Structure 1
Amino acid sequence: MPTSRYGGLSLWHDTLDDDLAPRPALGGDLDVDVAVIGAGYTGLWTAYHLVRADPGTRVVVIDKEIAGFGASGRNGGWCSALFPTSLKRMAVERGRDAAVRMQRLLNETVPEVGRIASEEGIDCHFDQGGSLSVARNPAQLQRLRAQVADHAAWGFGDEDQRLLDATEVREIAAVDGALGGTWTPHCAAIHPARLVRGLASAVERRGVTIHEQTAAVDVHSRHVVTAHGTIRAEHVVLATEGYTATVAGRRRSLAPVYSLMTATEPLPDDLWAQIGLENRATFADNRHLVIYGQRTRDGRIAFGGRGAPYHYGSKVSPGYERDTRVHSMLRRVLVELFPVLRDVEFTHSWGGNLGVPRDWYPAVRHDRRTGLAFAGGYVGDGVATAALAGRTLAAMISDDDPEDLRSLPWAGRTSRQWEPEPLRWLGVNAVTALMGAADRSERRSGRPSRAAAAFWSALGQ
């Protein structure tokens, strides 16, 4: 149980065998081969693959707080092959084969995360029970049917995603009002903080130095300025995801959007017999305003979703991580999905920010001329995606890329910047409002929302 001031960040942080005591801050100027800013999944996977390929590479990772402080330690625990950009969008830019290859690599990355965690002795509660998406009104069912048909048109079969009828849904989870659904094997439920803290220990064992409570004040080609000293490096990796807007000169790169979560008390066996989720399949319904849940190893349901506002000027603050209105909505939705939960106690409420690029398209890039590298913009689908991003960045930095990861559709991309305020505030919050309105309309009418469809079409999805 954590004893430092970092206890209480989330259910995940509260259920660690780790006191979360910060590692020492940077002690002065430093010369290394690679400096990584951000001790979350992206930064730590990058460091891991660099030193695994070449143990002689001098890598330092710095973080303003502690490893796993941000989204990597607070997320819903879906290690999935989901990607926020459609196959169609990727194919338009890089071709059909590249788009399909990207999806297949994401599918393969899910079990790879579990394999590496096992090799490194990281007990992150990895269970690949797949993922269930449920339709609870005709509009949602229509979209799921279209998704399966579209997936098949790209060469993916029932072994990748299959349509379920209502009876088949109930065999996995007794979601109230289910008309049907889809199931994919390409997802594992994990304890996210155990994974990120375990990765931090794994890279340290391989010679990487981590300095916590060390904020990057300024980031330039081949050097990072902190209050504790300057790091000179041949390569500098910006792995700050939802905190990218707080880095000097990058306020409009990614919009920090908050996603909030809640968790039940550990549930008794008789409730689990009614709920299902025996194999820890992650679950959601197919609404526009995203929700996500999992059965934890200690018998809780951890459940989250969107709906919290974007804050003016891309501001991030601990005060935004708890929102009574949104947390109440999440508890209400979970009970709607599983009415047997109506009398259970909810023990935890928390949240965190995630990085959203202007075009909803994550990127991985490295400029060999300046040494600057970046990966992020996962729009909440970052667990497995960050693992592949770290592997790709390591290949780019080392200039050793036998898998040709540099040819993937997200490699070398730069999304256009978000609009200046107040347009950014108006736009992001308008999208949240639009998705909520679309869901209400679909529940009433049973017909797909034209407004939501128009938005995704405008993004090229």
Structure 2
Amino acid sequence: MKLIASAAEMRAIPRSTEFRNGGVSFWYREQGLPERRAPLPGSADYDVCIVGAGYTGLWTAYYLKKAQPDLRIAILEREFAGFGASGRNGGWLSAEFAGSRERYAESHGKGPMIALQRAMMASVDEVIAVAEREGIDADIVKGGMRTVATNSAQEARLLEEIAYLQEWGYWPEDIYLLDPGHEPALQVAGAVAAAFSPHAARIQPAKLATGLARVVEALGVDIFEDTAVTEITPRTGREHPSAVTPGGTVRAEHIIRATEGFTSSLAGQRRQWLPMNSSMIATEPLDARTWERIGWSGREVLGDAAHAYVYAQRTADDRIAIGGRGVPYRFGSAHDANGATQPQAIAELWRALVRLFPAAAEAPVAHAWSGVLGVPRDWCPTVHVDHAEGLGWAGGYVGSGVSTSNLAGRTLRDLVLRRTTELTRLPWVGHRVRGWEPEPLRWIGTQVIYGLYRTADRRESDRVSQTSGFADLAAKISGR
């Protein structure tokens, strides 16, 4: 991606007369922003205090309250429930797990890592089951996931990925190469191969977040919005751990940090997880004739095998929503809370849309937005509770958080309640990693890494028949 999108490039992008950049996300534009809940009225005591009202915090509260209804639980949220990545993501409820399987296997063995992958598959169905049981309408369609390759290097990499995953918990029916004549057809321009996994569903992410918040509140959980936590302190002597806010301090037996990409805003956490920016655009609804040319009647989620990959879905009202890393990192772990997307990210996503679906080239772009996700230094998610300190956390999902957060919530429930279960034995429990380098090193490193990945994609598009060495170098520098 070029660092700057020219004015001519931006003019070439068809935009709706009501085009909007930012404003949290299209998902909230569609359903409307929720009415804000009251902030924390003053200092208080609870059994469990959760910092962050995204998927991780909401799922944790849900499962804790279901398991032990008498628990006094509070959730503290800087903005409103679902404001962060939970209300801005691509709507992929999938079994993808971002962490290095080899790293987890080093400490726990291959069997537990395979169990973790199978647990991720079960999490897809768990989210769907809870949504149905609790009356959460999140436009869920379990159509699976399709990954396309558009050049020979991507095809070779896709075949390698299928073989690799089948060694780490995917059975042959869980991911496989599609026959070119597969029905229902999805016409992706230039596709030379495609893989399919049934373990994925399309969702409307903001509807899931706001619906889950409603359910959690009805269970008796106190959700305080417009309540910024500035610091989390551990247990010291007889003093309970606490979450400090300008409006008061919440003390609890356990404080659970569920802040994902916003973790760097907490005192002492600046280098814990890198806030990586991801961007999206959504078109106006496409007409029936265009959909006849594209297909996509199965409503599966769609990704590609490029290094700077994209992810897409056909929405419930027949738009194409497509995302990618955009401008991945801002100096000093900064992020734009309103979700505004830089012009070069919009231009790149539109080019990706047209490249994959030429039939949609004239479809006006209705909305662009961005969000942040949390990236640990070794790119491996983690979930942990330290009973001595009274602190717990989960996150670092690296873009695969919709289902991973559900698994995290159930695992945190068991850890907080001191249960020993199949979930608490999974290898991501207790995983720790060093922090990121100080600035300007992490900004320079991020720019170099993603520059290398984009160079690799360009070379592979120019008929390089194998994975570019630039991608190998990027992976080595990043520590993935």
The normalised TM-score by structure 1 is 0.95
Cα deviation, residue 94, structure 1: 1.4
Partner of 2:461 in structure 1?
443
Q: C-alpha offsets along residues 123-142 of structure 1, whole Å, 9 cap, x if unaligned?
A: 01111100100010000000
1:70-120 Cα shifts (integer Å, max 9, x gaps): 000000000011111233332222101101000000011001101001111
Superposition pairs of residues 298-447 of structure 1, within 5 angstroms: 298-318=317-337, 321-401=340-420, 403-444=421-462, 445-447=464-466
Match of 1:210 in 2: 223
Cα distance in 2 between the residues matched to 1:415 and 1:40: 23
Q: Secondary structure at the match of 1:203?
A: helix
Return the offset for 1:166. Answer: 3.6
Q: Which secondary structure state, in structure 1, belongs to the residue aligned with residue 230 of structure 2? A: strand
Distance 1:386 1:243, change over 3 A: same
Q: Say whether 1:189 aligns with 2:195.
A: no
Match of 1:297 among 286, 294, 316: 316
Aligned partner of 1:246 in structure 2 is 265
Distance 1:69 1:319 in 2: 9
1:288-319 CA distance string (max 9 Å, x none)? 01210001111111110013141111112247
Instruction: Provide the C-alpha distance between the structure 2 equivalents of 1:68 and 1:245, rounded to a whole number of angstroms.
Output: 18
- Matches of 2:398 and 2:451, distance apart in 1: 17
Find the aligned partners of 1:145 and 1:365 in 2 and give their Cα distance: 35
Counterpart position of 1:163: 177
CA distance in 2, matches of 1:188, 1:172: 17
Residue 179 (structure 1) aligned to one of 177, 183, 192: 192
Instruction: Within 5 Å, give how 1:249-268 maps onto structure 2.
Output: 249-268=268-287
DSSP-derived class of the 2:267 partner: coil
State whether structure 2 residue 217 is matched by structure 1 residue 198: no
For 1:88 and 1:274, the matched residues in 2 are separated by: 42
Amino acid at match of 2:332: G
What residue number does 1:3 align with?
A: none
* Higher mean C-alpha deviation, range 271-280 or range 95-104: 271-280
Q: Which amino acid aligns with 2:109?
A: G
Quick one: which amino acid aligns to residue 30 of structure 2? T
Cα drift, residue 219 of structure 1: 1.0
User: Does residue 101 of the first structure (1) align with residue 115 of the second (2)?
Assistant: yes
CA RMSD for the aligned pairs? 1.6
Secondary structure of 2:223's match? strand
**Structure 1 pair 124/199, CA: closer, same or farther in 2 (3 Å)?**
same
Aligned residue identity for 2:317: D
Change (3 A) 1:43 1:14: same
DSSP-derived class of the 1:304 partner:
strand
Letter in 2 for 1:289: A
Pair 329,33 (structure 1): closer, same or farther in 2 beyond 3 Å = same
Question: Which of 23, 32, 53 lines up with 2:67 in the alignment?
Answer: 53
Judge conservation of contact 1:135–1:181 (CA < 8 Å) in 2.
Answer: yes
Alpha-carbon offset, residue 398 of structure 1: 1.0
Q: Does 1:38 align with 2:23?
A: no
Equivalent position of 1:13 in the other structure:
28
Matched, 1:126 2:144: no
2:215, 2:311 → 1: CA distance? 29
CA distance in 2, matches of 1:379, 1:31: 33
List alignment gaps of at least 5 residues for structure 2. 1-21, 235-240
Please state how far the C-alpha of 1:449 moved relative to its aligned partner: 1.1
Amino acid at match of 2:207: R
Please tell me the residue identity of whatever aligns with 1:356. V
- In the TM superposition, residue 154 of structure 1 has moved relative to its aligned partner by 3.6
**8 Å Cα contact 1:238/1:373 also seen in 2:** yes
Structure 2 residue 91 is the aligned partner of structure 1 residue 72: no
SS of corresponding position for 1:252? coil
Deviates more, 1:266-275 or 1:84-93: 84-93
Query: How far apart, CA to CA, are the structure 1 residues paired with 2:332 and 2:466?
Result: 36
Asked whether the 8 Å contact 1:234–1:371 carries over to 2, the reply is: yes
